[in-house]
Amino acid sequence: MYRPQLIQLLFLCALLSPLRLLAQEPDYHLSLSVIDAELNQPAEGMQVVLFQFSETRSTWRLVDSQVTDKQGEITGFLPGREHRGVYRLVLRNQKFFRQKHETTLYPLIPVVVTIDTPEPVALSLSVSKTTYSLSQEQP
């Protein structure tokens, strides 16, 4: 009598464990990947500051500031999926190239995007000392 209930409980726990792990993983609305075009490598160590535009105040509000990882990525902007609005990413390009003892024509690279769906937005940026290129990727 007791044994079937225990087996059912263990079976249920085994089924729910992967779902619990998935639920714990953060789900982000905005991600960014940066490539150093001159080296054709991920741009590790680029600081990116995120702002949100307030329509009522006509001002930008600081939301977050992060640094790209070894893969040149920031995957943790805007946790969840309800972040509709106008956002500005500011890439500290001058600081990035200064760390490499180089100068750049564009000290700050502002990227303004509108998020109007719950779908994740993934941006890809290629930078060099004299140019940059931006595109939207599939997350």
69-111 confidence digits (pLDDT tens): 999 999 889 988 788 899 999 999 998 899 889 999 999 999 9
Q: Would you list the domain boundaries of the chain?
A: 26-137
Instruction: Copy the structure tokens of residue 107.
Output: 């000290």
Instruction: Copy the structure tokens of residue 89.
Output: 């990413």
- Beta-bridged to residue 118, according to DSSP, are none
Segment 56-59 long-range contacts (CB within 8 Å, at least 24 positions apart):
none
DSSP state at residue 58: T
Question: Does domain 26-137 correspond to CATH entry 2.60.40.180?
Answer: yes
Against a cut of 0.75, is the pTM above it? yes
